[in-house]
Homo-oligomer: A and B are copies of this chain.
Amino acid sequence: MMRRSLWLVPRFGSCKGLLGSPRLRPQSVLHRHPPRQVLGTSFSSSTDALVARFCPKTTDLKDYALPNASWSPDMMRLYEEFLEKTKDGEWIKLPSFKSNADHIRGLKVPGGLTTTSKEDGRLFTRFLEKEGQGYEYVIFFNPAKKKSVCLFQPGPYLEGAPGFAHGGALVALVDETFSKTAYLSGHGLFTINLNIKFKNLIPVGSVALLNVELEKIEDHKMFLSCIAQSPDQQVLFAKVSGVFLQLELEEEE
């Protein structure tokens, strides 16, 4: 029965009935621009509170978004560049734990949806413990501007066309970067829609930069965009738009 309770978007596009509508606490304000203003007060947690919880100062959890020996000089250079930008607090380097359950400890989805990962559960984009062969990435988030940059170095296990990253591997990471940006910017919780235009293939081992922005919030939906390109901005890999549903997690009793 659980599966049937998980309607994210009813067939006819209404938001009614989502995850048991009585428990839904939607964003009541509706603005177009700028993104900073769209985040109203109908949610009990601000972006600052969400970020503080998401980035614990002390934790025994492994952070997968830290440099390792597999990172190329390009990847390291960009990482250092963005790390520099975190010093004045404008940008934040997001930690990346093994499972989303680790990121939302003590919280639950309204409507009774489980937030417990299986014992061996892993976030898809962190599927591999071994460094360098799967996803290598780190997300930097700008809380004031509600935007993110993800540095992405695809390993050989992400192959589609021989020697190049699978389109699906890129989409999954864009979805993941959208997801973190939407959550921290205003309780965006579930992907409703993704639209991807592929332009160029990403060679395995190279670096791609995903520039993600929150465009607007309307009717409890957050609209995000992503431009994936080479660090020198000379090669466009893909353009993506996404829509996320806002839903506030509740404190567990």
Please give the residue numbers on chain A whose beta carbons come within 8 Å of chain B beta carbons, in ascending order: 2-4, 6-9, 11, 99-101, 104, 109, 113-118, 120-125, 127-128, 133-134, 156-163, 165-169, 171-176, 179, 190-201, 203-206, 230, 234-236
Bound-state CA distance A158–B126 (Å) is 9
Instruction: Chain B residues near A128: list those with CB within 8 A.
Output: 127
Residue of B whose beta carbon sits closest to that of A176 = B168
Interface CB pairs A-B, < 8 A, 15: A2-B203, A8-B200, A8-B201, A9-B197, A11-B199, A99-B159, A101-B162, A117-B162, A121-B163, A124-B160, A127-B128, A160-B175, A167-B194, A168-B168, A168-B172
Inter-chain contact B194/A171, CB cutoff 8 Å: yes
Instruction: Chain B residues near A8: list those with CB within 8 A.
Output: 198-201
Inter-chain contact A194/B191, CB cutoff 8 Å: no
Bound-state CA distance A201–B189 (Å) is 12
Q: Given A172-B171, A196-B193, are A159 and B123 neighbors across the interface (CB < 8 Å)?
A: yes
A251 → B minimal CB distance (Å): 16
A31 → B minimal CB distance (Å): 25
A-B contact sample (5 more), CB < 8 A, given A166-B172, A167-B175, A193-B196 = A3-B201, A6-B201, A8-B198, A122-B156, A194-B194
Instruction: Chain B residues near A161: list those with CB within 8 A.
Output: 100, 109, 113, 115, 190
Residue of B whose beta carbon sits closest to that of A192 = B198
Inter-chain contact A116/B162, CB cutoff 8 Å: yes
Inter-chain contact B198/A156, CB cutoff 8 Å: no
Bound-state CA distance A114–B192 (Å) is 36
Inter-chain contact A169/B230, CB cutoff 8 Å: no
Instruction: Chain B residues near A156: list those with CB within 8 A.
Output: 117-118, 120-122
Inter-chain contact A127/B134, CB cutoff 8 Å: yes
